[in-house]
Amino acid sequence: MCTIRQKIYQVIEVKETTSITSKVYNRFMLLVVLLGLLPLAFKEDYAFFAITDTVVVLLFGVDYILHWLTADIRTGKKGVVPFLVHPFTLVAIVDMLSILATLSFLQNTFRLFRLSRGVRLLRVLSLFKMVQHSRNMRLVLCTIRDTRDSLITVGYLALGYILLCALIIFNVEPHTFGNFYDAIYWATISLTTVGYGDVYPVSLVGRCVAMVSSMLGVALVALPAGIVTAGYMNALQRSKEEPPE
């Protein structure tokens, strides 16, 4: 027989086989996150935002309390330890920062919070709440976790590519690249195929280096996409094969 806390956990927790109530709740919370980020799209502080901030704070607070009340069910451990540990977990800390960042009066009370619109910027942390309420976001995180070794290897390759290309172009065209940082900057934007065009080689040898590095860069950039895509499909298949809880 399910207790009230177990029923709450089944509603707020994202699973493969969720009830209509759970789906509605989690999708509603995703909309609340977007509502909390709305003021960041405006420079002015409209009176309407005071109302939305109040609503968002209340809903974030309720969600925080519900996750706290079901901490033992989530971890599978009994006793008071899960409840004592929960406020210090990464997810709970991000949730609390999101709530504090939405409290508009803090910006008018403490000078520290007014520096560089720091509190407003902290609202971006609420995007991490999407992980709690979106199954697809959780699958992406699981994919990154499962493929981290391959991604780290590709990261090392990319770093080596950048340093090698920077060293070559810096010595080939010292008159174009005034310092080594400019060469690293050029190699980085070349790897990502962005190509701002503010720094570029002008000599024949430099352009040959740029062509070769660009072709290698395209192949290197494609590796993480393939790894993550394959990992995501595997994670999605495993989630479908798991028996419902």
pLDDT in tens, 28-80: 988 888 888 888 788 787 888 888 888 888 998 999 999 999 998 888 888 88
At 107, the pLDDT band (50, 70, 90 cuts) reads low
Instruction: Please report how the helices 180-191 and 148-172 are oriented relative to each other, as an axis angle in degrees rounded to 10.
Output: 130
Q: In angstroms, what CA-CA distances link 137 with 26, 110, 143, 144?
A: 12, 35, 10, 11
Which whole number is the average pLDDT over 123-142?
Answer: 70
pLDDT of residue 103: 66
- pLDDT tens-digit series, residues 169-224: 999 888 888 889 989 999 888 887 777 778 888 888 888 988 888 888 888 888 88
pLDDT of residue 84: 92
Inform me whether the pLDDT recorded for 114 exceeds 70.
no
At 241, the pLDDT band (50, 70, 90 cuts) reads low
Residue with tokens 């094969």: 241
Q: Return mean pLDDT, the chain.
A: 80
Give the range among 33-42, 136-145, 233-242 with minimum mean pLDDT: 233-242
pLDDT of residue 138: 72
- State the greatest distance between any 2 C-alpha atoms of the chain, in Å, as a whole number: 77
Residue with tokens 């920077």: 166
